[in-house]
């Protein structure tokens, strides 16, 4: 029933809608504990097809309600009692029954609907059509042959049987060969086979139409058809198509206009199949607009398809068939219609008694759907109610009562389908019922949100409040929010939020409450996260993951590792290479399969945290594949390949190798290196060789495995591509010239019969080339003039011909010894150990070879200290290149020398110059080889020494220095004694402090200064007893008495020395001091006994006897009782004492005594500076010499 809507009525309707909205709960979910009408929970689809291969067909109908619903069915609008049919299978407390596929199903074919009822109402399912498919068959028929004149169009009808869509048509021969389709021949949408014009080859007797029904897995075949094309008679002067040509016309669709209707979402298919000669071509347009995006043209332009059409695809379309003689057109009016679609679907409602209830139902579609209302499955007009009105698409129930509770059905239908919706309308007043369980516990994570649930059901709706810890006040604050469903949301939970919460639901009918406990825990947090890694294959990967979590979950915490979203099982035998130790995931012997994203999940019962890392496995590239040789051009070929996987490290180069089977079979050599962005290369090859090739890639990890080799490739023989290189011209004898070259490699021969043509001629005269052919790689030219220039060239040839024109090189014939010595040799003394030598260079005509340089030989005649001449060892220095001067260093000062100069070439040395004698001036002496303490007293120390073995001049005396040290940082002043008698070899230092340590220094002096220092340390005695040191056999001091320290040089004792003396004078009689000295004496005795035993271990040898007869001067005076220490390293005066030296070494003389020189050659730079090395001097030294570095005076 419908009423016209007026403006006043519309206003009233709006007011009622607002009021109802306030009191109505829409789309409710009513607990089954409350009485309610049925609600359909499961229903069959709109159609159910009985496929022959299915075992059964369920007709589903399930519903819920309180009381429990009862079910009934209708079939084709009539009651259908499924419970009385024994063939149907039923389920208890369910409306579902199952139709078995064990008999004739046709009797069950029809339209079904299910009804679920209880005392409060009836719910209705949508209609379901049960379709029983019949097996499609073509009728048995005898078809007459189709006879057609050549050039005329014809159609072979298929007329497929009806069946379950989709339908697919195929035209084939009796031998299952498809009929070839093209612009002339095509299958239409109706399955017919269209021929634009007949040709003779169309004649055949086995045109078969096959209809396929894939949903029922069935293909049926029509009786074969015959076609006979009668050839057209033509004169020899006519062209083949001159008479047959005609303008286009359409075989389908007929006429010039047609309409097409389809449902939204289906594919729009428009077809135009023309005929004519020549075969027409079809064009498609949409009038006023271009073809929609996604439009497709198939079947050689004859079929336009617009997938999933919608309203915007409606309109007018045109197809145009054209050939040179004209065109034919057809217009399509396309209408896209829609099945019903809800605009406002009716909703179930729970309303208070006495309120107004609105039930709205509207739908759209094309054509516009019709709306049908039912209540409890009965048409609305058959169940009147005084307080119920219909306003257009809305039902209004005024002042509703409990008896108005019912199930209302709204059905929207048009020719494309229908929609059905059930709306449960409940008119009840109910006190609150809280559906959430009482005493529920909730766990929250600190600083994160949590929701406490309180799902209440009531009519009218309840007011929900939450309180905490038995407080009567509702929770407040910006972090607390109560949602419409009654749940309490707490944002950023704090530890203080923990406790008991109470939810109170209250309405006009009553109230109800529940409690909930909230526990706030520390958040789980990963503090050490795994990091992305790139790791080499075969190594071990380590992924760290360390988490913090609430201590109360110590037994419930778990740390899980996942790879590519799949949990890693460490108990699985497949993952034996994976294990976790100390929160670190170990992956042993990493392989390519280990690459992926690894996720660490730290999980407790209330929260979790996760972190992931990408593990990339690096490896050498895989071998290239699919090597192909192409573009064969004799001695070149193109090689292409497909690169292998680079395993996360970009390929930098491809290396092409070759193997040849003639010279080095089985050995692969590099041929070519190409960049990473190439996968092909043209290979330039040698002739007369059989090659195989392979390729491998290189990345930052290394070189990958090589590919499989190619097939053999043989190159034809050819003349040599190159001539020998590295040609060397040498002359080992004066009248010969040796020519050598680097021979061609065997693979470079390019063919058999390799030989070399050697050509030479003099460069300084006009003459023809002299040629010789040899097979070896050397040639000797005899009877050449000495050292004259030649031009030489070497050319390769084989049986195929000559190599390229050779390059000319120059060289000289054999050398001879230089014939003359340098002239005007002169010596300039630079200092006591260095001289500069000059000479006039030898003229190049006298060299008779390549100038090598000059050599200087010199030897020492005698020392100027004595007059005896001693011819010393010869020394030589070599100075390469053309020069006229050199510097000779390392000479001994105050000596007489002789030297000669000579030149040399590749053959050897020339004659030496006349000897030149010269003398070196004085220098500073060498250090004294022996400096010893011979006697130590309470206030004195006796010294002895030997003069330097090389005085380097006339000795003028000695410089003796000493100072108090006592092992402290503060030292005494340096005392100096000038000894002017060079023959003095002994000295006694007096007036010293008892039991004090002194350091002694000695240097020998000439008029040029004093030499390097030799030093000694010694401690004076406590008592005045004679501490003797074994005497030295020193001839220089045998008759000289040991002078004492002169009185004027005695220094005033320092504060430290005075204090020491006072202590010594006062403690000698103390008992503890006597005991200490006894202990020292006992320790000394033990040390002496140990030394005596150790020294006597070698007494049985003759060497020991010789040592006893001839004691070494260096070992004398070293007895432990002397308190003396010898040092040849600490030769400088100590801190604060250098200012008291009485003599200075003259500047410039300290460098005169250089290292000794040997007989081997040494080289100098152009300016004569030394660049060679020298051997040790072979001069006698005193056996007691103590080596020490030369000291520069302060």
pLDDT tens-digit series, residues 684-722 = 999 999 999 999 999 999 999 999 999 999 999 999 999
Dist CA 577 CA 570 (whole Å): 9
Task: Calculate mean pLDDT across residues 992-1007.
Answer: 92
Q: How many residues does the chain have?
A: 1194
Q: Is 88 exposed, middle or buried (0-12, 13-18, 19+ CB in 10 A)?
A: middle
Which residue, among 516, 385, 509, has the nearest Cα to 444 in the 3D structure?
A: 516
**Which of 1122, 936, 938 is CA-nearest to residue 1022?**
938
Whether residue 507 has pLDDT greater than 70: yes
Task: Kindly tell me if the per-residue pLDDT of 1106 is higher than 50.
Answer: no
Q: Are 71 and 116 in contact (CB under 8 A)?
A: yes
Torsion sign, CA atoms 45, 46, 49, 50: positive
Q: Which residues contact 917 (CB under 8 A, 6 or more apart)?
A: 861, 896, 897, 898
Residue 306, burial from CB neighbour count under 10 angstroms (0-12, 13-18, 19+): buried
Whether the bond between 253 and the residue before it is cis, its omega within 30 degrees of 0, is: yes
**pLDDT level of residue 1119 (50, 70, 90 thresholds):** very low
Confidence (pLDDT) at 295: 92
pLDDT digits (tens, 9 = 90+) for 923-961: 999 999 999 999 999 999 999 999 998 899 999 999 999
The dihedral sign for the CA sequence 298, 299, 304, 308? negative
Decide if 754 contacts 801 (C-beta within 8 A). Answer: no
For residue 28, pLDDT over 90 is answered with: no
Cβ pair 913, 821 in contact under 8 A: yes
pLDDT surpasses 50 at 1194? no
Asked whether the beta carbons of 828 and 836 are under 8 A apart, the reply is yes
Q: What is the mean pLDDT of residues 758-785?
A: 92
Give the pLDDT of residue 1071. Answer: 64
The per-residue pLDDT for 236 is 53
In the structure, what pLDDT confidence band is assigned to residue 764 with cuts at 50, 70 and 90? confident
- Mean of pLDDT values over 463-492: 92
End-to-end CA distance of the chain: 133
Backbone phi, psi, residue 831, to 5°: -160, -165
Token duo for residue 734: 């004066």
Strand blocks (E) in 17-145: 25-26, 36-42, 47-50, 56-59, 62-66, 70-75, 78-80, 89-90, 97-100, 110-118, 121-124, 128-132
> What's the burial of 24, exposed, middle or buried (CB within 10 Å: 0-12/13-18/19+)?
buried
CA distances (Å), origin 552, targets 445, 450, 523, 527, 673: 13, 19, 12, 19, 65
Taking phi over 0 as left and psi of -120 to 50 as alpha, with beta for the rest, 606 belongs to alpha
What's residue 790's pLDDT? 92
CB 920 within 8 A of CB 829: yes
pLDDT of residue 54: 86
Nearest to 785 by CA among 754, 752, 812: 812
Read off the pLDDT of residues 162-212 as tens digits, 9 standing for 90 and up.
888 889 999 999 888 999 999 999 999 999 999 999 999 999 999 999 999
Mean pLDDT of the region 492-496: 93
Whole-number mean pLDDT of the chain?
84
Q: And the tokens for 199?
A: 């040709």
Are the C-beta atoms of residues 1004 and 958 closer than 8 Å to each other?
Answer: yes
Is the model's pLDDT at 322 over the cut of 90? yes
Rounded to 5 degrees, φ, ψ at 692 are: -130, 150
Q: Looking at the predicted structure, is the pLDDT value of residue 1172 above 50?
A: no
pLDDT digits (tens, 9 = 90+) for 385-444: 889 999 888 999 999 999 999 999 999 999 999 999 999 999 999 999 999 999 999 999
Residue 950 C-alpha from the chain's centroid: 71
Q: How far apart are CA 1152 and CA 831, in angstroms?
A: 7
CA distance 683 to 660: 14
Residue from 660, 680, 683, 685 nearest 672 by CA: 683
Structure tokens at 1006: 């000439």
Residue 439: CB atoms within 10 A of its CB come to 9
pLDDT score, position 1070: 53
pLDDT on residue 83: 86
Please provide the DSSP assignment of 374-435 as one string: EETTEEGGGS--TTEEEETTEEEE-S--GGG-EEEEEEEEETTEEEEEEEEEEE--EEEEE-
If pLDDT is split at 50, 70 and 90, which confidence band does 1111 have?
A: very low
Residue 1109 region by backbone torsions, left for phi larger than 0, else alpha for psi between -120 and 50, else beta: alpha
What pairing do the DSSP bridges indicate for beta strands 394-397 and 357-360? antiparallel
Q: Tell me, what's the pLDDT at 573?
A: 67
- Tokens representing 124? 């209705």
Please state the rounded mean pLDDT for residues 19-39. Answer: 67
> Cβ neighbours of residue 665 under 8 Å, at least 6 residues apart?
659
Residue 929 CA to residue 948 CA, distance in Å, equals: 6
- Give the whole-angstrom CA distance, residue 917 versus residue 1129: 39
Count the Cβ atoms, other than its own, within 10 Å of residue 134.
13
Any idea what DSSP says for residue 1114? G
Say what the pLDDT of residue 1162 is: 40
Q: What tokens does 173 get? A: 């021969």
Report the pLDDT value the prediction gives residue 967, as an integer from 0 to 100: 66
pLDDT at 574: 67
Report helix, strand or coil for 645.
coil
**Residue 735 CA from chain centroid, whole number:** 68
pLDDT at 18 over 60: no
Task: Tell me the CA distances in angstroms from 394 to 5, 14, 410, 541, 1062, one per residue in order.
Answer: 11, 11, 10, 70, 132
| pLDDT at residue 576, rounded to an integer | 83
CA distances from 500 to 324, 441, 456, 519, 678 (A): 93, 9, 19, 9, 73
For the entire predicted model, the pTM comes to: 0.50
pLDDT tier for residue 969 given thresholds of 50, 70 and 90: low
Residue 243 DSSP one-character state? T
Q: What's the CA gap between 985 and 1015, in Å, rounded?
A: 15
Residues 783 and 546: their CA atoms lie apart, in Å, by 91
3-state secondary structure labels for all residues of 796-858? EEECCEECCCCCCEEEECCCCCCCCCCEEEEEEECCCCCEEEEEECCCHHHHCCCEEEEEEEE
- Kindly tell me the number of DSSP H helices and DSSP E strands found in the chain: 5, 89
The mean per-residue pLDDT over the stretch 82-111 comes to 88
Rounded Cα gap, residues 980 and 1002, in angstroms: 13
Burial 854-889 (b: 16+ CB within 10 A, else e): bbbbbebbbbbeeeeeeebeebbbbbeeebeebbbb
What 3-state DSSP class applies to 16? helix
Q: How far is CA 237 from CA 149, 241, 951, 1098, in A?
A: 21, 12, 137, 140
Spatial contact of 400 and 386, defined as CB atoms under 8 Å apart: no
pLDDT score recorded for residue 288: 85
Surface-to-core class of residue 351, CB atoms within 10 Å of its CB (0-12 exposed, 13-18 middle, 19+ buried): buried
Say how many CA atoms lie within 13 Å of 359 toward its Cβ: 30
Using the structure block, give the residue that is written with the tokens 């500076």.
1169
What 3-state class would DSSP assign to 1076? helix
Q: Which residue has the higher pLDDT, 103 or 258?
A: 258
pLDDT for the residue numbered 29 = 78
């Amino acid at each position: 029933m419908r009423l016209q809507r007026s403006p006043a009525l519309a206003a009233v309707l709006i007011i009622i809608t607002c009021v109802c909205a306030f009191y109505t709960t829409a789309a409710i979910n009513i607990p089954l504990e409350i009485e309610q009408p049925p609600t359909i929970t499961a229903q069959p689809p709109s159609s159910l097809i009985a496929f022959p291969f299915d075992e059964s067909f369920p007709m589903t109908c399930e519903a819920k309600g309180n009381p429990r619903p009862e079910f009934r069915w209708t079939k084709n609008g009539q009651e259908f009692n499924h419970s009385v049919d024994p063939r149907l299978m039923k389920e208890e407390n369910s409306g579902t029954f199952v139709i078995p596929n064990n008999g004739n199903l046709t009797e069950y074919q029809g339209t079904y609907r299910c009804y679920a009822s209880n005392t409060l109402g009836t719910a209705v399912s949508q209609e379901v059509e049960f379709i029983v498919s019949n097996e499609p068959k073509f009728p048995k028929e005898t078809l007459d042959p189709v006879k057609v004149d050549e050039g005329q169009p014809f159609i072979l009808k298929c007329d497929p049987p009806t069946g379950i869509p989709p339908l697919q048509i195929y035209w084939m021969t009796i031998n299952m060969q498809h009929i070839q389709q093209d612009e002339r021949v095509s299958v239409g949408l109706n399955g017919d086979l269209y021929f634009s014009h007949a040709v003779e080859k169309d004649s055949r007797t086995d045109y078969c139409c096959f209809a396929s029904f894939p949903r029922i897995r069935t293909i049926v075949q029509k009786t074969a058809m015959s076609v006979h094309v009668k050839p057209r008679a033509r004169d020899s002067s006519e062209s083949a198509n001159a008479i047959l040509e005609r303008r286009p016309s359409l075989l389908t669709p007929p006429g010039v206009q047609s309409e097409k209707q389809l449902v939204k979402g289906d594919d729009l298919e428009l077809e135009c199949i023309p005929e004519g000669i020549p075969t027409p071509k079809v064009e498609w347009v949409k009038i006023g607009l271009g073809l929609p995006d996604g439009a497709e043209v198939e079947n050689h332009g004859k079929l336009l398809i617009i997938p999933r059409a919608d309203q915007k695809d409606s309109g007018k379309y045109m197809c145009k068939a054209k050939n040179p003689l004209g065109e034919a057109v057809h217009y399509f009016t396309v209408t896209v219609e829609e099945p019903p679609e809800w605009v406002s679907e009716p909703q179930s409602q729970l309303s208070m008694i006495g309120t107004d209830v609105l039930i709205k139902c509207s739908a759209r579609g094309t054509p516009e759907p019709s709306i049908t209302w039912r209540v409890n499955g009965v048409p609305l007009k058959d169940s009147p109610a005084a307080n119920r009105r219909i306003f257009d698409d809305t039902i209004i129930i005024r002042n509703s009562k409990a008896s108005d509770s019912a199930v209302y059905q709204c059905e929207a239908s048009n020719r494309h389908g229908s929609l059905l919706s059930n709306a449960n309308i409940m008119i009840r007043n109910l006190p609150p019922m809280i559906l959430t369980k009482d005493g529920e516990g909730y766990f929250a994570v600190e600083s994160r949100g949590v929701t406490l649930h309180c799902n209440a059901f009531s009519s009218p709706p309840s007011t929900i409040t939450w309180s905490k810890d038995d407080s009567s006040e509702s929770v407040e604050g910006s972090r607390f929010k109560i949602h419409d469903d009654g749940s309490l949301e707490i944002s950023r939970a704090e530890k203080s939020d923990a406790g008991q919460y109470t939810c109170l639901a209250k309405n006009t009918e009553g109230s109800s409450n529940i409690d909930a406990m909230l526990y706030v825990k520390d958040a789980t947090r990963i503090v050490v996260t795994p990091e992305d890694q790139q790791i080499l294959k075969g190594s071990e990967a380590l992924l760290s993951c360390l988490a913090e979590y609430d201590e109360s979950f110590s037994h419930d915490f778990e740390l899980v590792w996942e790879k590519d979203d799949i949990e890693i099982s460490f108990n699985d035998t497949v993952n034996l290479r994976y294990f976790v130790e100390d929160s670190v995931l170990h992956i042993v012997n990493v392989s390519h399969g280990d690459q992926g994203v690894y996720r660490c999940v730290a999980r407790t019962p209330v929260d979790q945290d996760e972190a992931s890392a990408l593990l990339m496995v690096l490896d050498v590239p895989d071998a290239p594949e699919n090597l192909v040789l192409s573009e064969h051009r004799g001695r070149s070929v193109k090689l292409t390949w497909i690169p292998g996987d680079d395993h996360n490290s970009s390929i930098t180069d491809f290396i092409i190798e070759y193997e040849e089977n003639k010279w080095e079979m089985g050995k692969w050599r590099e041929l070519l290196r190409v960049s990473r962005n190439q996968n092909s290369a043209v290979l330039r090859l040698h002739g007369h060789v059989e090659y195989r090739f392979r390729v491998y890639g290189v990345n930052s990890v290394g070189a990958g495995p090589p590919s499989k080799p190619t097939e053999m490739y043989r190159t034809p023989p050819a003349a040599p591509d190159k001539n020998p290189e590295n040609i060397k011209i040498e002359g080992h004898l004066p009248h010969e010239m040796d020519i050598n070259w680097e021979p061609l490699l065997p693979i470079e021969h390019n063919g058999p019969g390799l030989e070399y043509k050697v050509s030479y001629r003099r460069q300084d005269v006009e003459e023809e080339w002299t040629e010789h052919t040899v097979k070896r790689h050397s040639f000797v030219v005899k009877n050449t003039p000495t050292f004259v220039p030649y031009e030489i060239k070497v050319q390769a040839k084989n049986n195929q011909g000559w190599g390229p024109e050779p390059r000319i090189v120059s060289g000289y014939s054999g050398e001879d010894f230089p014939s003359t010595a340098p002239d005007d040799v002169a010596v300039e003394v630079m200092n006591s150990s260095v001289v500069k030598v000059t000479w006039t260079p030898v003229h190049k005509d006298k060299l008779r070879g390549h100038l090598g340089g000059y050599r200087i030989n010199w030897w020492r005649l005698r020392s100027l200290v004595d007059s005896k001449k001693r011819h010393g060892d010869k020394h030589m220095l070599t100075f390469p290149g053309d020069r006229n001067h050199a510097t000779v260093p390392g000479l001994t000062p105050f000596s007489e020398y002789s030297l000669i100069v000579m030149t040399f070439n590749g053959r050897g040395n020339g004659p030496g110059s006349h000897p030149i004698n010269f003398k070196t001036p004085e220098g500073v002496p060498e250090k004294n080889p022996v400096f010893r303490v011979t006697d130590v007293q309470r206030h004195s120390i006796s010294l002895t020494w030997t003069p330097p073995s090389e005085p380097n001049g006339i000795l003028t005396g000695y410089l003796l220095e000493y100072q108090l040290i006592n092992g402290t940082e503060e030292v005494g002043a340096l005392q100096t004694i000038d000894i002017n008698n060079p023959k003095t070899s002994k000295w006694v230092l007096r007036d010293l402090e008892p039991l004090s340590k002194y350091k002694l220094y000695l240097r020998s002096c000439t008029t040029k200064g004093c030499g390097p220092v030799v030093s000694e340390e010694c401690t004076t005695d406590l008592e005045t007893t004679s501490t003797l040191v074994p005497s030295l056999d020193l001839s220089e001091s045998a008759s000289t008495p040991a002078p004492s320290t002169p009185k004027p040089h005695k220094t005033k004792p320092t504060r430290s020395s005075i204090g020491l003396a006072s202590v010594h004078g006062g403690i000698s009689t103390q008992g503890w001091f006597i005991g200490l000295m006894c202990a020292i004496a006992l320790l000394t005795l033990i040390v002496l006994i140990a030394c005596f035993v150790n020294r006597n271990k070698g007494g049985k040898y003759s060497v020991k006897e010789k040592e006893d007869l001839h004691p070494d001067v260096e070992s004398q005076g070293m007895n432990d009782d002397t308190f003396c220490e010898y040092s040849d390293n600490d030769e400088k005066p100590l801190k604060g004492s250098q200012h008291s030296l009485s003599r200075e070494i003259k500047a410039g003389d300290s460098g005169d005594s250089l290292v000794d020189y040997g007989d081997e050659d040494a080289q100098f730079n152009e300016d004569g500076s030394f660049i060679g090395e020298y051997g040790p001097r072979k001069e006698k030294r005193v056996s007691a010499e103590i080596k020490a570095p030369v000291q520069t005076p302060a």
